[in-house]
A and B are shown apart, each in its own frame.
Chain A
């Protein structure tokens, strides 16, 4: 007879049940080790291939935790390749960056360094060096292309790995996580909103705040007042990755404007829908109270899927107590002005819920830094946080 209160500890006893140290959240030294042992070693999700749809389109993504920026560029052969954004001449960035993400497009599928006009193509080859004859015999264009970064794709998501030789392929790295989500219509639901901010907290504080449903009844009493958490279901740990079903009950009829929105489009998380678009692996028991699948693609991507909507949170470490958060919300492209309006209503509610979610993070960091408490206590439904702490510890101490 299983104990309903401790079902996840019984399923995954190897994670233990003791308190978790706060040191990894507040130590600059620990963060340096995370950079070396995690962010410079594993595959990182850096966007959707649909963000750079045409030959010559490129995106530059800063990865502070790996001390680099990556150019993702689509070649004339339609293949996307990844390179460090560093010029072979004197090390300047080739594409001038305007922020965490810089987008551009080149009809000729080339990028040109602003500093002295060195030109590289989408295969990374150095094509042109102004006044090339003034360089010496030891210099050769052939040996001075852009430095490639390992790149691969899964379900339309772009991944990079900055290790010289990754320890595993992307397929091996994702393992069962890839099959769990395979078949979800990510590309059909490609109408995406992006929000971002810098949070004065460790990336794991941000991760943890989103990786449980225990907070729904308190933190979201404002935006989702009639929604109550009925706990996690179907927790599945898959190597460094993890997933579960978040189940919620809806107790009241929608508010007047929400009712109008729901009639126009089922874009809101808090609306009831008909036929399923979910793969059989998700909500396998077809529970009525299933709200969304909450998963963590290690280390820093949270992927949530539901009927008609999916969303991600990414936590990009900037320092041991500074994190870039990016929240993205995707629905099917609206076909009418009414549907576009309903999407705006749903996105607004979701944004407000994210404002509620992020509210605790900087407070948590400051309190942890006081060292008044040196450990945190996790209940059974906070197993995703426990698993995260165990996995980070394994990587850092490997």
Chain B
């Protein structure tokens, strides 16, 4: 983990590098077990940078993102996971009044999203 760095122009996000998680399962667990303060700090840091991060990824065709940009893209995906909690759930780390999250199994949950593969389980 400690060896991960962000590309030039995004070093301001390096304090949040622990949100650079490849799979949906890892990002969900990180969000679910974070504190309110950690969620808010990550959201506040990412929001003004989100469009620039996605634009940097969009310089490459889907499936061809260079390895050095994967952590940055993974952080944007963590933002997709975290945003509803700040914007809709009053900062709560869990989904309020919900079924136990750990019992929901995502078929695509272990996949590295930056690879751009279809999430469908197939033969």
Contact of A103 among B97, B99, B123 (CB under 8 A): B123
What 1/0 mask marks residues of chain B from 88 to 110 whose CB sits below 8 Å from any chain A CB? 11000001111101011111100
Does A370 make an interface contact (CB < 8 A)? no
What 1/0 mask marks residues of chain B from 65 to 84 whose CB sits below 8 Å from any chain A CB? 10000000100110111011
Contact assessment for A356 and B77 in the assembled complex, using a CB-CB cutoff below 8 Å: no
Interface size, chain A (Cβ < 8 Å): 54
Q: Which of A51, A190, A334, A337 has the most CB of B within 10 A?
A: A337
**Which residues on the B side are within 8 Å of A354 (C-beta)?**
104
Does A31 make an interface contact (CB < 8 A)? no
Does A154 make an interface contact (CB < 8 A)? no
User: CB-nearest residue of chain B relative to A329?
Assistant: B119
Q: Which of A103, A191, A193 has the most CB of B within 10 A?
A: A193
Contact assessment for A352 and B62 in the assembled complex, using a CB-CB cutoff below 8 Å: no
Interface size, chain B (Cβ < 8 Å): 43
Contacts A105-B123, A255-B87 hold; do A223 and B95 have CB atoms under 8 A apart? yes
Contacts A103-B122, A193-B108, A222-B88 hold; do A338 and B58 have CB atoms under 8 A apart? yes
Q: Which of B24, B101, B105 has the most CB of A within 10 A?
A: B105
Task: Give bound CA distance, A198 to B103, whole Å.
Answer: 8
Does A30 make an interface contact (CB < 8 A)? no
Contact assessment for B118 and A197 in the assembled complex, using a CB-CB cutoff below 8 Å: no
Task: Give bound CA distance, A105 to B84, whole Å.
Answer: 39
**Which residues on the B side are within 8 Å of A222 (C-beta)?**
88-89, 95-98
**Which residues on the A side are within 8 Å of B81 (C-beta)?**
344, 348
| 4 residue pairs, one from A and one from B, having the closest CB atoms | A57-B123, A257-B83, A337-B57, A255-B87
